[in-house]
Structure 1
């Protein structure tokens, strides 16, 4: 009995140790996952691997590639088989009139089985098959460019979400700093009140300001959660995942030449490249519609067998096996102007696409100009906000020293802290606003 008890205790201890080890290991894994810091490059790579829009574009590219294979296959010989069976009420016969009178001669069977194999090779189709191949190749090119466009769209969304997480985090830091400084100010005010140096009204003002700061901190913390959830959505992660992001490279101003940026955008934007390919497809569509004006020529070879048995091997009236080789010509030369109407329709579509291309090129140029203007404004705002931030910090420092020496009021301290809070918000808004404007310009230029 004692041995059983010892064994049970040993098993229980081992189970407890295993449970603790697994729990500790799981906690360590969770802590390690939570402590990982995501860089912008990692976020882009993760999003491009998981985004549904890019997966859709890849499938469309695969579909276009299969269409090109089909268009190429249409130029090659095709082989088809045919099998049929039918039964007649009476044996077919032929009537012959001779000097001996009219005679009926059977020429077929009740049961007739027929099968054949036909090989067809297009020789000339009015350039239709070659044109379809070119259109299919342009479809592949369009699908590839549309995939690039999807990549650019996802990259821009990820950058925007990433910078908003950083901005929300900075605003939370400002709220925490404000709370800590106002709490310190409240302690000073309470001390001065006990010493009889200030009125109780100053203490109340400090308490109200601290309460407002705490409310702001709670709101800023929720903003961080929402911004992180949005980034997680783009990364394909659970919305509540504890994603932490690394700060980006500091502000690096530069100069830009508008005309060269416009030309780069017109040359590289996927939307314009897709439209140019669509124009080429429409032009090929004109040639495809005009192919109906020409005759179509096919080389045809056929092996046929007909008989009274299912395999068609027995035939009492004719040779069961027939092999033919010939040329088939198809030419619908009159269809009440249908082909001419189709050609005019395709030409009109091509011209409309050219007009749309010209309009979107101008829109892209305007988009680049607007994005560059926003970037230049953000660039100027960063320098201004940085100077104002330094001044606000110095103003708060001097005002707090004056308050501790009782040469200024609590209202001045609260105002100075409010000025600093606004200056910090303006600075971080301008700093990350510059990064957001840079992301907009990159998208306008067709850059990742």
Structure 2
């Protein structure tokens, strides 16, 4: 029951999806370690533009120069015509560019902490899934034993009904023999009616608890269902001191491990939040193939490759208060988790104490209710004999039947509680993790 409840738990399946989401965040954080590579392809069409000309704008312009070497006396002077020219305007521009950026400082101040935080968050999600399965296993066992209790209560109610019917027959016989009054007969018939109602209630409760077990195990109504456990079987004794069980629970419970993992994630995020205290250093490289290339002068309608390398450090004092506030927020969240952890530890201790006391009480109850059941059975037998011989009233028999029914229920409850309390102790100390192995 416990294993199937753990395997089919919808709450555990929901936690499995949380694991997938956390694993995706880990992959995302890991991808941040890769340098950022960007590729760009661009075409630009420029509007027509007339550039200013260089040189004389007159068609007949000239410039006087001397063909003789410098320092020649009375050098010759010759007039050379000057032609005006302009740079070409290229209207079609093409660009192919690849850029790589390496966040050098972020590797140490942000990315590594982010990856660590995502990893711890994924671990916490896995532990939460284990916790959900372990809880479902324990709930399934408790539902199973509760159903056994309800089935046993139905048997007790049917036995009480048979006892009441037998007493009603005796009352009628005694009335016929003038040893009992009509009131005794009516009282016996009233007890029969009450017992019939109790049987119907017990049937409804048994059906309800069976449905609860089927829901816990996700078993359809068409699938056969059997109990398969003997309540009379002797249970193994619980060894160890209460202090040992408390220590084991506070050491092994998955809830505490989940809080520890979440705390580690918050600490890593807090370190990342304080990265603004320091300058941000990055390096980049760029390769450009352009037509025309802006670095070539004058521009020509040709494909020209160029490259560049950049090392940059940036820092803003405005980041300091922002980083400080972010770090303080994470410190507060960590303190909140620590307080929650102490609350969980106290709750675990209380769980262990309650389960341990319940085991002791139910084990004692098994022994005492056995004697109680034997005495009540014999008391009813004697009361009936006395009533049949006219030496006791109907009230004595009815009271004896009531005591026997109570003794039967007490014995049933003792056996069931002994099993439920052991299941709860197993959960309280974290041993139910065996139903939810780590993936």
By the TM > 0.5 criterion, same fold? yes
Structure 1 equivalent of residue 187 of structure 2: 205
Q: More deviation in 383-392 or 223-232?
A: 383-392
**Structure-2 change in CA distance of 1:172 and 1:93 (3 Å):** farther
> Which of these residues, 322, 337, 340, is aligned with residue 305 of structure 2?
322
Residue 160 (structure 1) aligns with: 142
In structure 2, what is the equivalent of residue 340 of structure 1? Answer: 324
Structure 1 counterpart of 2:95: 114
Offset at 1:408? Answer: 2.1
Q: How far is 1:146 from its partner? A: 0.5
Which residue, out of 285, 294, 308, partners 1:301? 285
Unaligned 5+ segments in structure 2 are 57-62, 64-81, 293-297, 433-439
CA distance in 1: counterparts of 2:312 and 2:366, whole angstroms: 76
Cα distance in structure 2, aligned partners of 1:323 and 1:307: 11
Spell out, residue by residue over 1:36-65, the C-alpha distance to the aligned partner (whole angstroms, 9 max, x if none): xxxxxxx22222222210111111112222
- Give, in angstroms, the shift of residue 78 of structure 1: 3.7
Select 2:104's aligned residue among 109, 123, 146.
123
- Of the structure 1 ranges 278-287 and 295-304, higher mean CA displacement relative to structure 2 is found in 295-304
Any idea what SS the aligned residue of 2:431 has? coil
User: Contact 1:229–1:240 at 8 Å: present in 2 too?
Assistant: no
Match of 1:10 in 2: none
State the match for 1:13 in structure 2.
none
Q: Does 1:375 align with 2:375?
A: no
Task: Please report how far the alpha carbon of residue 214 of structure 1 lies from its aligned counterpart in structure 2 after TM superposition.
Answer: 0.8
Residue range with higher mean Cα deviation, 393-402 or 168-177: 393-402
Q: Is the alpha carbon distance of 1:390 and 1:295 closer, same or farther for their aligned partners in structure 2, counting shifts above 3 Å? A: same
Query: Which residue is 1:5 aligned to?
Result: none
TM-score of the aligned structures, taking structure 1 as reference length = 0.81
Matched, 1:418 2:399: no
Relative to 1, partners in 2 of residues 1:302 and 1:319: Cα closer, same or farther, differing over 3 Å? farther
Task: Give TM-score, length-normalised by structure 2.
Answer: 0.82
SS at match of 2:130: helix
Residue 13 (structure 2) aligns with: 55
Q: After superposition, where does 1:138-177 map in structure 2 within 5 Å?
A: 138-177=120-159
1:33-72 paired onto structure 2 within 5 Å: 43-72=1-30
| Distance of 2:335 and 2:52 partners within structure 1 | 64
Q: Is the 8 A contact 1:297 1:327 kept in 2?
A: no
Match of 2:393 in 1: 409
Task: State the Cα deviation string for residues 408-439 of structure 1 (Å, max 9, x = none).
Answer: 22222221111101111122122212222222
Contact persistence 1:229–1:241 (CA under 8 A): no
Does the aligned pair in 1 maintain the 2:283–2:312 contact within 8 Å? no
Q: CA deviation at 1:441?
A: 2.0
Superposed CA offset, 1:79-118 (max 9, x none): 33223333222258576568869854224x3232323233
Which is greater in Rg?
A: 2
Q: Secondary structure at the match of 2:356?
A: helix
**Deviates further, 56-65 or 241-250:** 241-250
More helix, by proportion: 1
Q: Structure 1: any 5+ residue segments left out of the alignment?
A: 1-42, 309-314
- Determine if contact 1:385/1:426 at 8 Å carries over to the other structure: yes
- Deviations along 1:217-244, one digit per CA (max 9) or x if unpaired, are 0110000011111111112234686633
Could you say which residue in structure 2 is the equivalent of 1:73?
Answer: 31
Mark the CA change 1:323 to 1:47 in structure 2 (over 3 Å): closer, same or farther. farther
Task: Name the SS for the 2:98 alignment partner.
Answer: strand
Specify the alignment match of 1:271 in structure 2.
255
Q: CA deviation at 1:216?
A: 0.6
1:160-205: CA deviation from partner (whole Å, max 9, x where unpaired): 2111100000000001111122222222332333333332322222
Q: Counterpart in 1 of 2:44?
A: 86
Aligned pair in 2 of structure 1 residues 406, 255: CA closer, same or farther (>3 Å)?
Answer: farther
